[in-house]
Structure 1
Amino acid sequence: MQYIMTFFWTFLLTEMLTYVVSSMNGAEFNFMTGLILSIIATILLFIFSALLTDDQAEQH
């Protein structure tokens, strides 16, 4: 469930960002661009969370 909700919120925020930036640039909104960016961002979030374990946080 954690992975699904992470992707859901990443997807929503990325689509909003894509819409706002394309609107400010006067370009056409492209749904697939936001979808691809949200998939990449979700994978990066999972990698960062795996690299930053609780053991490393306790040492600092």
Structure 2
Amino acid sequence: MKFFWTFFWTFLLVHMATYVVSSMQGNAYDVATGSLLAVVATIIVIAIANVLPNEPVEHH
């Protein structure tokens, strides 16, 4: 379920950013570009989450 919500929020945020950036540059909004970037960003976010340790750090 966490993968679904990660994709959901990444999808929305990347599409929002794609829309804003394309509007600022004067280009047309492209859904395919936003979707491709959302998939890539989701994979990167999940990979980073898997690399980070979950154990608490021991204090010396």
**TM-score, normalized by the shorter chain, greater than 0.5:** yes
Distance 2:23 2:44 in 1: 26
Q: Runs of 5+ in structure 1 lacking a partner?
A: none
Work out the number of aligned pairs and report it.
59
* TM-superposed deviation, 1:13: 0.3
The 5 Å alignment of 1:14-53 reads: 14-53=14-53
The structure richer in helix per residue is 1
Please tell me whether Structure 1 or Structure 2 has the larger radius of gyration of its CA atoms: 2
Q: Runs of 5+ in structure 2 lacking a partner?
A: none
**TM-score, normalised on structure 1?**
0.90
* Percent identity for Structure 1 against Structure 2: 44
Q: Which residue of 2 aligns with 1:58?
A: 57
Distance 2:39 2:2 in 1: 15
Q: Which residue of 2 aligns with 1:13?
A: 13
**TM-score, normalised on structure 2?**
0.90
